[in-house]
Chains A and B, each alone.
Chain A
Amino acid sequence: MESYLFPFDSLICMLLGISFTVWFTLLLVFIIVPAIFGVSFGIRRLYMKSLIKLFEVSLLVIDRCFVKHFDQIIEKNWFKMSLEQEIQDMRRGGAEPEFDMSDIFYFCRRGVESIVDDEVTKRFTAEELESWNLLTRSNYNFHHISTRLTALWGVGVLIRYGFLLPLRVTLAFTGVGLLVVLTSIVGLFPNGRMKNYLSDKVHLMCYRICVRALTAIITYHDSENKPKNGGICVANHTSPIDVIILASDGCYAMVGQVHGGLMGVIQRAMVKACPHIWFERSEVKDRHLVAKRLSDHVADKSKLPILIFPEGTCINNTSVMMFKKGSFEIGCTVYPVAIKYDPRFGDAFWNSSKFGMVNYLLHMMSSWAIVCSVWYLPPMSRMEGEDAVQFANRVKAAIARKGGLADLLWDGGLKRGKVKEVFKEEQQKLYSKVLVGSSEDGSSS
């Protein structure tokens, strides 16, 4: 039986073929070639400016119909008196009694204040925005306000999912694919200057393609402080994208756990071209082993600076939480870097308890853009008489100050774990001092 050949079949094939060719040529010319050479046509910045205009328009619409407060719920004393001072302050005065029944008020009020607003739990969810940026995921309190806005949002969805997302996914695959293939090729070269040079170029190129895959618009400040060989680069951690952002501007040795699957393939390919530090799951627990490998790497001046995120987990970019002291014990120069994302264009924070990696990447690639600023801070070293923890806190304070983030002493591990008992014991100790310290008559009992 003769198959009925539609005359349009060949036409459709031809059209498809042509559009693919055009598509890929455009891709090559406007995105891949600039990525290779590290230049930019400025298209992304133009896009960003137009988005800002768009948000201003939507803000006007919202303001007219709906006023939203996103300030603090309660007024907290920024000048926190110590436990001792507050309790002395509270007592009835006169002769100092050992214990006053009103002491309980202090703990009571602090407790309820922390129920209403605490410094820690809000760091593990996405930051709330003051005005809507036309993404459903940040639509906290703006339900249907006006048809015009909803229409605008609808158009936004079409653009983001219909045009931007496929473009970005294509780029991402290209970038990752090239990374794996090219690093494997470079790995075949004998060790030497040529290999290092090629490996640097390959890494930079692929990361730049990935940056374009996310439509990331990054502003680098103070590039004269860029990390050098034999040092460790520390930065605040908001998402896995931090790596791409930093690595597209300089070459680093990565540190991490060995993964399986696609991640594992990438890791194995990367390590062929230049030495990265990948740990087996079991090795991660052994702190001495980790420290030794890091110091060995740092001692070799021909190797690239190590990139580490001392917080150990993703924080929502409004604050910097406790730095783990491991990387600060090694005794080499530390190059701090502060990364601050602009939440208006897309929230980069990875809430790993809520979303998996794939879901997260999907969110990233269907946002408007990722806009961030990177500040390279001047290098720091451990001073005389300073221990690792103090050094870590000093670096953390510098990063927080530069990036405009809150500097917290709390551990990022509180995202999943319970707070250590020792902190409660500290509070108890302080209060005991107030009780016992003020007993002058030394009542023996």
Chain B
Amino acid sequence: MGSRASSLLREEDIEEIKKQTGFSHSQITRLYSRFHSLDKGENGALSREDFQRIPELAINPLGDRIINAFFPEGEDQVNFRGFMRTLAHFRPVEDNEKNKDPTSGEPLNSRTNKLFFAFRLYDLDRDDKISRDELLQVLRMMVGVNISDEQLGSIADRTIQEADTNGDMCISFSEFTKVLEKVDVEQKMSIRFLH
């Protein structure tokens, strides 16, 4: 029997997700099909194994961290709402949204929120600071066995030195934002969803 994916998604849910994330109706149904095809256990939620089954993600050096970003603190399952909330960070920032006065708080795909998503990839213990250890961990994940500990350590030290303004040997979110102020975050952390 073919997957009757979109018949399990109610109109009210779609409307709510639309408001929260800014995706269009057809994008939401299309992403629901994708969610459903990843959900091998057919229980309406994705587990870490479901993500790891994607080969292109499994070979991504930061694959595990990215998967982690989808799961709320301490949980093992992510439902469709949570899935869409995380994906919403990668929506491109449209011009008319830049000028919109956000009465309902900042949209999920604002520059700040995109930067915060990336910050969270470094900041594993969620204490709002990237320590030297956390930076080293991420660097090690990205280079594998190809660079020695000392060299990696000096890279980490130099990065913290450049970014740290208040001398606490850690990078806070505001320091992180300052370092990346010239980078076109809106473009680099966006995926062009069609329709």
- Which residues does A use to contact B, with CB under 8 Å? 69, 71-75, 90, 92, 97-99, 101-122, 125-126, 136-141, 143, 410, 414, 418-419, 423-429, 431-432, 435-436, 443, 445
Contact = CB atoms under 8 A, between A and B. Distances in A.
B87 to A, nearest CB: 7
B62 A107 contact: yes
A410 B58 CA distance: 13
Contacts of A141: 4-7, 29, 33
Contact of A143 (B4, B37, B158, B191): B4
Q: Chain A: interface secondary structure?
A: helix
Contacts of A113: 191
Interface of B: 1-7, 26-27, 29-31, 33-34, 37-38, 51-63, 66, 87, 90, 117-118, 121-122, 138-139, 142-147, 150-151, 153-155, 158-159, 162-163, 171, 176, 179-180, 182-183, 185, 188-195
A75 B162 CA distance: 36
A73 B59 contact: no
Given A71-B194, A428-B142, A102 B180 contact: yes
A423 B61 CA distance: 10
Contact of A74 (B38, B153, B192): B192
Given A90-B183, A443-B151, 10 more contacts: A73-B193, A73-B194, A108-B62, A108-B189, A109-B188, A112-B191, A139-B4, A141-B33, A424-B58, A436-B151
A424 B153 contact: no
A109 B191 contact: yes
Contact of B2 (A136, A424, A436): A136
A113 B144 CA distance: 22
Contacts of B4: 139-141, 143
Nearest to A86: B188
A140 B3 contact: yes
A73 B30 contact: yes
B15 to A, nearest CB: 18
A72 B30 CA distance: 9
Nearest to B157: A445
A121 B36 CA distance: 12
Contacts of A115: 38, 51, 54, 57, 66, 87
